[in-house]
Structure 1
Amino acid sequence: MPAMHFTIRWPDGEEARCYSPSTIVREFFAAGSDYAVGEFVARSREALTIGSERVRQKYGFACSSALDQLAQIEHHARRFDGEPRAVVTVLALG
């Protein structure tokens, strides 16, 4: 299963390198694009859940790294609750 990373910039300027167990994130994000924080979290949740399920189908267990990554994204995103104009920028995929 081809794992990959994607690099993002949070609204406060902090950058993060995120993990996905599959290339599915390419179907949810485009490098150089901005996403409202809530939309970014929702897309991440869907993409990482699909990636984790692909691991389950192939190996018989979910990808704990994908679920951990999702938990980190959700936790960090809470800092921007109440900021409707806050966006996450996807800097790179790959």
Structure 2
Amino acid sequence: MPEVYFNIEWPDGSQESCYSPSTVIKDHLQEGEEYSMQQFLLLVRQGLNEASERVRQKYGYACSSAIDQLHSITHTAAGFGTQQKLKVRVKKIVSTG
């Protein structure tokens, strides 16, 4: 199963490299796009949950790395609050394998 790394830029300009066990994340996030914090969290939650489910279908167990990544993103996002003006940019999406 090809893995995907997606680099994001938080509202304060800091950057983070994130992981998805499946290319399905590309159905939810687009390279170069900027999302409101709420929209980004919704899309990344959908994408990583779907990616984890694909792992479950293939291997019989959910992907703990996808769930851990979602928790990490959610935790970081909580530090910024929920103001509509806050934006997250998807800088790059790279597939491996």
Q: Normalized against structure 2, the TM-score is what?
A: 0.94
Contact 2:52/2:63 (8 A) holds in 1: yes
Q: What is the TM-score with the length of structure 1 in the denominator?
A: 0.96
Mark the runs of 5 or more structure 1 residues left unpaired by the alignment. Answer: none
- Kept in 1, the 8 Å contact 2:34–2:90? The answer is yes
Cα separation, 1, equivalents of 2:88 and 2:23? 19
Aligned partner of 1:45 in structure 2 is 45
* Unpaired runs of at least 5, structure 2: none
Q: Is the 8 A contact 2:37 2:82 kept in 1?
A: no
Q: Quote the RMSD (CA, aligned, Å).
A: 0.8
CA deviation string 1:58-91 (max 9, x = no partner): 0010000000000001001111214220000000
* Counterpart residue identity of residue 68, structure 2: D
Matched with 1:17 is 17
2:79 counterpart SS class: helix
